[in-house]
Structure 1
Amino acid sequence: MPVTVVHWNPRRPVLRGTLGRVVPWRRAVNNFGDLLGPLIVARLVADNELVESDSPRRLLAVGSILNLARAGDVLWGIGANGKTLDQTAPYRELDVRAVRGPLTREFLRQKGYDVPAVYGDPGLLVGRLWPREDVARGTRPRAVTVIPNLHDLHHARNRSDAVAPTTELWKTLAAIAASDLVVGSSLHAIVVAESFGVPARLVSSSVEPPFKYEDYYRGTGRPDFRPAPDVDTAVDWGGEPLPSWDPGPLLAAFPRDLWKPAS
């Protein structure tokens, strides 16, 4: 039985308004950051020469998806969603191996969970698993790439340097890898850029609570990060200092026990 890697990717109406409610055409959102979890897990499983076991347990890896957890789930590098902090927890009996940052850890500890101080968004492993030069190969160099959060996309529609977060996953990763600077309100644009060593600056989101951003920056040793109020200011300021973060503990916490050795 394959291990289910939980990630957020709902199907939404193709048509808007009343017509969208009547005509049952749907397509997946495919927000690139939310697709990273299964990709990273599959690479680590292959690199560690693991194969499927009989474990029915689910793994949550990458994203602000704590609210998607169920009893018995394994958590590795995910975070809480700032929009759901006051909701009744739908999860029980979680097996927490690592979390995105100290805010998520404290949130879970207050609910009685044992949470190790192992921090890091697994998106930070992208540049380690797929070298920047390989990902960027064939992509034209970009001085600046702007990637907004999915819900901020309308703010960047007229920018020639913008990449929609719903652009095909590898094209988005290639654009980031080919950039001199990445700015925007997409958390995983920042995470992936920094995994490649590309300077990045967060732009304050018009809709997303600050929780996930602060969780990430604190989890990478940068409590004094400074979001820019807009894209032009972010470009003017340039990137934040790169993370002060050791990938070793997050890699050591990867739940290999959900699989079994190939031999």
Structure 2
Amino acid sequence: MNFRSNLRRLINEVGCDFIHQLPYPHVELFFWQPDDGTVNFGDYLSLVIVEQCLRRFGHTLADEVPRGARLFAIGSILHYARNDDVVWGSGINGRAGQGDLNRRVEQLDVRAVRGPRTQEILRRRGLAVPDVFGDPALLLPQLFPDRFQRRPVRPWIFVPNLHDLGLIDRTFANVVSPLGSWNRRIDAILEAELVLASSLHGIVVAEAFGIPARYVRLSEGESEFKYRDYYEGTGRFDVEFASGLDEGREMGGAPRLTFDHQALMDAFPIDLWNGTH
């Protein structure tokens, strides 16, 4: 295995701190990315959304800040957390070996989590977790109010999870790969009247823009936990999953979400940059 492959494997094991180690205190944004150099759009949305939130306040990820910190925003990545990390919308994965916090974690600065299932696990560990739920990708229409517009020209699309890519024909016109640029994935989602997905962020992005969406469970590659966590964090319990595309098309979208965009926006930890917690 060459140096590049070894480096990518290491990044995959520890996640991705986007900003390089700077010689001054700064906020490191942590998110996961594939170890082969590709871009999984759902995880990459963490960078897009945090940067856009910061622009509203005139800050950047490269700013020197009063105290260095590490921020978790989008993703089922809390098994990577360390003491004193800041959490704004992330969730527990639930998959075997990634189902909980590292046992050494005793303190987190939690501003919001994806849903009540993550909240319950963190509270069982003695951590303070507010009643603020939601995946930050739900804020896309508010953060980019003039950029993306619905243009339904396809009756349906399917956005697979990475673990399901090998189960489908990726050349099929209705399949939108999760690998690639974040903006083109969103454009493709906004072309559909119905979004079927095993990619969690295929569902989240669709519902953020008011497009009916349904989770299609093609494999056991992902735990049901993170999908239930998201649905329950948006006010929906006992959502039925489809087991195939035909069934998903017949079922149509899940019940509409109930979500407080402002509460999640207000929970953004801008104090890490301006020191006014």
TM class by smaller structure: 0.7 to 0.9
Which residue of structure 1 aligns with residue 108 of structure 2?
Answer: 94
Tell me if 1:114 matches 2:128.
yes
5+ residue gaps, structure 1: 13-27
Provide the aligned C-alpha RMSD in A: 1.9
Which whole-Å deviations, capped at 9, do the CAs of 1:75-103 have from their partners, x for residues lacking one?
00000011112674353321011000000
User: 2:207 matched to 1:183?
Assistant: no
Any conservation in 1 of the 2:100–2:121 contact (CA below 8 Å)? no
1:252 equivalenced with 2:261 (yes/no): no
Q: Work out the CA distance in 1 between the residues paired with 2:127 and 2:197.
A: 33
Q: Percent identity?
A: 43
Paired residue secondary structure (1:227): coil
Whole-angstrom CA distance in 2 between matches of 1:246 and 1:86:
26
State whether structure 2 residue 177 is matched by structure 1 residue 161.
no
Matching of residues 212-227 of structure 1 within 5 Å: 212-227=226-241
* TM superposition outliers: structure 1 runs of 4+ over 4 Å: none
Deviation track 1:5-28 (CA, whole Å, cap 9, x = no partner) reads 10001423xxxxxxxxxxxxxxx2
Greater percentage in strand? 1
The one of 74, 86, 93 aligned to 1:81: 93
Shift of 1:2: 3.8
3-state SS of paired residue (2:89): strand
User: Structure 2 length as normaliser, TM-score?
Assistant: 0.83
Q: Which has the higher contact order (CA 8 A, sep 6+)?
A: 1
**Kept after mapping to 2: 8 A contact 1:67/1:91:** no
Q: Which amino acid letter does the alignment assign opposite residue 239 of structure 1?
A: G
1:5 to 25, 29, 35: 29
Shift of the 258–99 alpha-carbon distance from structure 1 to 2, 3 Å rule, reads: same
What is aligned with 2:11? none
Q: What is the CA–CA distance in structure 1 between the aligned matches of 2:82 and 2:102, rounded to whole Å?
A: 13
- What is the aligned partner in structure 2 of residue 234 from structure 1? 248
Asked if the contact 1:62–1:123 (Cα under 8 Å) also holds between the matched residues in 2, the reply is yes
Q: CA deviation at 1:127?
A: 2.0
Alpha-carbon separation, structure 2, partners of 1:147 and 1:187: 9
Alpha carbons 2:81, 2:101 under 8 Å: kept: no
Structure 2 unaligned segments of length 5 or more: list them: 1-24
User: What TM-score comes out, normalization by structure 1 length?
Assistant: 0.87
